[in-house]
A and B are shown apart, each in its own frame.
Chain A
Amino acid sequence: DGGITQSPKYLFRKEGQNVTLSCEQNLNHDAMYWYRQDPGQGLRLIYYSQIVNDFQKGDIAEGYSVSREKKESFPLTVTSAQKNPTAFYLCASSIGAGAINEQFFGPGTRLTVL
């Protein structure tokens, strides 16, 4: 079955630690995205990538980093510089560039920083 997988589903970390969230897709999509969702707020774009080896900052990139070494994979690292990292993180992909394309979401990772 084609789709997007994110792991782990739940993640707990101590304050000050970096943590990497995994996102893999087998849909052969060029574009991939990372969002965070907080209660009462819409999804906010952290980073996105239109093609392998290229990515751009979204609206709230501070304290995060990404890489896109393979088409299938777009891991997100939440660094200790992120002031409020506890959130629901969603990875998405779309067939290509252009916001006319539907974005497909993975099941998400709930990160709690203690």
Chain B
Amino acid sequence: RKEVEQDPGPFNVPEGATVAFNCTYSNSASQSFFWYRQDCRKEPKLLMSVYSSGNEDGRFTAQLNRASQYISLLIRDSKLSDSATYLCVVNMGPSYNTDKLIFGTGTRLQVFP
């Protein structure tokens, strides 16, 4: 099983739609979770951290389900500018004495007019 697994997509949605991505992780000891956004041929940028209680930032909502070991990202009222690849990022957990983050391969979102 991959350490971090995402559906590669692409998800093709019209403007204004709501879209959700899931990401599963294998290490039950993982403590840190993030969603990064990566535009084509650019560097990843932090979209939001994911907290145990769930968190919201404008049109974006992130949730964590520790029991099932997945995190989710919900985007409401999609904009053309949301078109990008969304990377799920998880740390290796306290059993590892490093700062390692594991990056998923990303889910591609394409919003059309």
> Are B104 and A42 interface neighbours, CB within 8 A?
yes
Query: Which residue of B44, B92, B105, B106 contacts A105 across the interface (Cβ within 8 Å)?
Result: B44
Q: State which residues 96-113 of B face A: CB under 8 Å.
A: 98-106
Main secondary structure of the interface of B (DSSP, over half): loop
Q: State which residues 78-97 of B face A: CB under 8 Å.
A: 87, 91-92
Known: A99-B91, A100-B91, A102-B34. A42 touches B103 (CB 8 A): yes
Main secondary structure of the interface of A (DSSP, over half): loop
Q: Assess whether B43 is interfacial by the CB under 8 Å rule.
A: yes
Residues of chain A with a CB closer than 8 A to B4's CB: 42
Q: Can you list, as one digit per residue, whether each of A20-60 has a CB less than 8 Å from chain B (1) or not (0)?
A: 00000000000101010000111101001010000010100
> Are A105 and B34 interface neighbours, CB within 8 A?
no
Count of chain A residues with a beta carbon within 8 Å of a chain B beta carbon: 27
> Are B43 and A100 interface neighbours, CB within 8 A?
no
Contact-residue bracket for chain B: 20 to 34
Bound complex: CA A35 to CA B99 (Å): 13
Q: Assess whether B1 is interfacial by the CB under 8 Å rule.
A: no
Bound complex: CA A70 to CA B94 (Å): 29
Q: Assess whether B32 is interfacial by the CB under 8 Å rule.
A: yes
Q: State which residues 60-92 of A face B: CB under 8 Å.
A: 88, 90
Q: Assess whether B17 is interfacial by the CB under 8 Å rule.
A: no
Q: State which residues 27-57 of B face A: CB under 8 Å.
A: 31-32, 34, 41-46, 49
> Are A100 and B105 interface neighbours, CB within 8 A?
no
Question: Which residue numbers of B lie inside 8 Å of A, CB to CB?
Answer: 4, 8, 31-32, 34, 41-46, 49, 87, 91-92, 98-106
Question: Which residue numbers of A lie inside 8 Å of B, CB to CB?
Answer: 31, 33, 35, 40-43, 45, 48, 50, 56, 58, 88, 90, 94, 97-108
20 A-B pairs with C-beta separation under 8 A: A33-B99, A35-B103, A40-B8, A42-B4, A42-B87, A42-B104, A43-B87, A50-B99, A56-B98, A94-B99, A99-B31, A99-B91, A99-B98, A99-B101, A100-B31, A102-B34, A103-B46, A106-B43, A107-B42, A107-B43
